Chains A and B, each alone.
Chain A
Amino acid sequence: MASSVPRETRPVVLVVEDEPILRMMAVDLVEDAGFEVVEAVDADDALLILEKRLDIRIVFTDVDMPRGIDGMKLAALIRDRWPPIEIIITSGKLMPRPEDMPARGVFFSKPYKPNEVVAELRRMVA
């Protein structure tokens, strides 16, 4: 592994997406952009990971997940319990109302454009 950036200094992004095919793309996108990626299959899974790992900088989450709470509620919980974490939300549904978005949260409508999401990830850790 001849990476120019040492592994331990790469910012960590938690990807939350219940649809495996979409998760695959999100994971690749985050990794290709030079981040370390952790995967969660739903919000409950994401919360367990957030409780264990203290190095997560950004959560990139889907909204509509059939099990447990949805991505909007997850985002609100994160904003409450882990205020420094940045949040990116994506959904095939209509854009959430501004008052429903967490502070500093960014929304991308599905299908999102990878380069736009990457630019946002980079901006968030700059």
Chain B
Amino acid sequence: MIGAMLDVTEQTVSERRQAALVTLADRLREARTSAEVMGIAAEILGTTLDASRAGYSRIDVKADLFEVERDWTASGVAPIAGRHTLSAFHATVGQLRDGHALATSDVESADWLAGDADGYRVIGTRAQVKAPLFDRGELVGLLYVHQSEPRDWTGAEIAFCQAVADRTYAALAKLEAEAEQRVLNEELSHRLKNTFAMVLSIAAQSLRGVADRAAVNAFEQRIHALASAHDVLLRQNRMGAPIAEIVRSVLASAGQEDRVAPSGPHVAFGPRASLSLSLLLHELATNAAKYGALSVPTGRVAVEWRLEGPLGEEDLVLEWRESGGPPAIAPARPGRKGFGSRLIQMGLTGTGGVDLRYEQTGFSATMRAPVDRLRHS
């Protein structure tokens, strides 16, 4: 009878640990800083194991320091947050060097930790589990669970600590990689913007004597459109550039953001599609300012997009609709067309799918492309 009850208890405890690992994974996914990651891990370790104290300690062996930003403690237990010298725990550090989690049921009777006995007494700890973190062979941190009284850790409890540690360290590594990526992106963006500035400077010097100022201006503005497109892309990380953001950026760069109303669902474009759309919108805005709705004070442009077609094979349909301006007149087409109209004809993916209408109410264009290609190119 007693045996059966123990089994039930052991089973619920095991279920509780499983549930804790699921919660841990969910919460770590939302964490944005390493302090948050460590806080979540500490809380889950401490509460699930009914420990006295749990937390993450950053270790600098060379500087002989360990540092706890903030730990979880049961009520009435003092936290050990702050910076401490590592020398009080030399025996412990030595034990951790083999890379395995360390479990001690009573530090007072563990003679291999005898050198650290004072250290443990100061922090009021009799039993513990520690899971080390290494970076390039160097001990750089550990997750700890402390108990004020002696405690016989079960194999399942030690495995649980290790599982929490593995997930926590993976989350920390991911945050670190993202931070590095951000720094790289910012540096790249900075260089790219400087390079665009230099291209414009070289153009300004080289084209000083050119009489056709309209052509020079058109060139400079296209480079600006390209630069602002890169800017939008580099401000996003991984997810691509939201279409509304691209529309706003290009129209702001053309000084037309007040007269153009963008609307549509959230769709993020990949890098190539973002650049194409930016250049395309720039040409449409330039034409509208020269001949269309934006050439008169009352004119407006609606930029609307939607998804059409069966789920999984949707097309993105983007409409550019001018109103309030002069009637649109289809351009005569003698000889080779200009860069702008060729670009517009190429559409969102460079392969067409463009319908241009020159109507009494103004110019409008409908562009269509598989949304999957726009997202991933």
Contact = CB atoms under 8 A, between A and B. Distances in A.
B193 A94 contact: no
Contact of B227 (A19, A94, A111): A111
Contacts of A126: none
A92 B197 contact: yes
A111 B186 contact: no
A2 interface: no
B191 interface: yes
Contacts of B193: 92, 109-111
A87 B168 CA distance: 48
A111 B192 CA distance: 10
B204 interface: yes
B205 A92 contact: no
Interface stretch (A22-30, A51-59, A99-107): A22-30
B39 to A, nearest CB: 27
B224 A22 contact: no
Interface in B200-241: 200-202, 204-205, 208, 223-224, 227, 231
Interface string B149-192: 00000000000000000000000000000000000001001111
A24 B208 CA distance: 12
Interface string A50-76: 000000000000001000000000000
Contacts of A112: 197
B201 A21 contact: yes
Contacts of B231: 109
A20 B201 CA distance: 10
Interface in A106-126: 109-114
Nearest to B191: A92
Give the interface centre of B190, B192, B201, B223 by most chain A CB atoms within 10 Å.
B201
Nearest to A114: B204
B7 to A, nearest CB: 60
A24 B204 CA distance: 9
A67 B202 CA distance: 24
A116 to B, nearest CB: 9
A111 B193 CA distance: 6
A97 interface: no
Contact of A93 (B186, B196, B197, B205): B186
A92 B189 contact: yes
Contacts of B194: 19, 22, 92, 110
B205 A25 contact: yes
Nearest to B221: A113
A109 B193 CA distance: 9
Nearest to B190: A92
Nearest to B187: A93
Contacts of A113: 224
Interface string A67-93: 000000000000000000000000011
Given A94-B186, A111-B227, A22 B198 contact: yes
Given A92-B191, A93-B190, A110 B204 contact: no
B341 to A, nearest CB: 24
Give the interface centre of B192, B197, B202, B224 by most chain A CB atoms within 10 Å.
B197
A21 B204 CA distance: 10
A109 B192 CA distance: 12
A94 B235 CA distance: 10
Contacts of A22: 194, 197-198, 201
Contact of A28 (B197, B204, B227): B204
8 contacts: A21-B201, A25-B197, A28-B204, A109-B193, A110-B193, A110-B194, A110-B196, A112-B197
Given A92-B194, A111-B193, 19 more contacts: A22-B197, A22-B201, A24-B205, A25-B197, A25-B201, A25-B204, A28-B208, A92-B197, A93-B186, A93-B190, A94-B186, A109-B193, A109-B231, A110-B194, A111-B199, A111-B224, A111-B227, A113-B224, A114-B204
Top 3 closest A-B pairs, CB basis? Answer: A92-B193, A25-B201, A111-B197
Interface of A: 19, 21-22, 24-25, 28, 64, 92-94, 109-114
